[in-house]
Amino acid sequence: MSEIIIGTRKSKLAVAQSTLVAEELADKFPAYKFTLKKMSTKGDRITDRSLIEIGGKGLFIKEIELALLNGEIDLAVHSLKDMPGEIADEFEIIATPKRANPLDVLISKDDKSLDELPQGARIGTGSLRRKVQLLNYRPDLDIVPIRGNIDTRIKKLDSENLDAIILAAAGLERMGWSDRISQYLAPEISLPAVGQGALALEVRSNEDSVKELIRGINHCDTYVTVTAERSFLAYLEGSCKIPIAAYAQIEDDRLMIEGMVASLDGSRLLRDKLRGKREEAKELGIKLAQKLIKQGAAEILAEIKEG
């Protein structure tokens, strides 16, 4: 196989991200040709309803995974935060390139910070995780649901009469739009989504030659941190219907992970952190999930699932 077909969503950001992956692979393996196949997913096509209504984050990956399964593509590039906690046995996330900035950011009119926004300010976000943390920090805010690509959401700042919107720093930085950022939100205000800022390189489980190739651009520290975050998510059976966040970092060759579970209105918000060996990333994520369950996360999750 001298050509590797890379599957990606059609959005400007997805193409920009996949192009970075293709270029990194081409630099490392000049004997191969890496070609992008741009695809439309259900999550891209339906933008007038929330992800919760139409079936969750998996809608950004389903068509691409089907193409992978059918052999139409050899590698899928996803934003890791769009991936469910568990994936089918036929697939494997074989590598993660170096993570971009994982933080959430505020884009506001007049370049105001979150604390400078007026009482009752209207803030746009399609993320339940962001909504509950913002309301926990400032209960006076009016959170307005918005969806769409980054440029679409920035336009809605004016078209929907919003005071600000919340986006991921990584997307704006990868698009070269950092100048639009009014404030980087500290994890103490808005803990990032699981895998935010990282890319998932997904292959067929039985395709050993491709796996060997893709592993060549894996960034070990990123892989370790997102493994911890994803095991936290999987243990809690997290989805976009549940406000869950986790962020892991390597500190002095030790792994630190912080996690959050909240009620839908942000009135109850549980946070905790753990440190451990980086070799035990998966176990650390599970232990943190268990710790939050003991603190009351089980009741919060049960209420949301029953509702």
Tell me, what DSSP letter sits at residue 198? -
Contact status, residue 103 vs residue 169, Cβ threshold 8 Å: yes
By the 10 Å C-beta count (0-12 exposed, 13-18 middle, 19+ buried), 41 is classed as: buried
263 and 306 in contact (C-beta within 8 Å)? no
CB contact at 8 A, 65 and 44: no
* 269, two tokens: 């918000």
Phi/psi of residue 196, each to 5°? -60, 135
**One of 74, 82, 104, 163 is an active-site residue; which one?**
82
Q: Residues, the chain, total?
A: 307
Q: Which residues, at least 6 apart from 242, have a Cβ–Cβ distance to it below 8 Å?
A: 128, 236, 261, 301, 304, 305
Q: Give the span between the Cα atoms of 213 and 208, in whole angstroms.
A: 9
Tell me how far CA of residue 238 lies from CA of 91, 206, 285, 300, in angstroms: 20, 27, 13, 12
- Do 5 and 163 touch, CB atoms closer than 8 A? no
Element (H, E) at 205: none
Closest by CA to 125, choosing from 107, 99, 109, is 107
Is 82 known to be catalytic? yes
Catalytic residues: 82
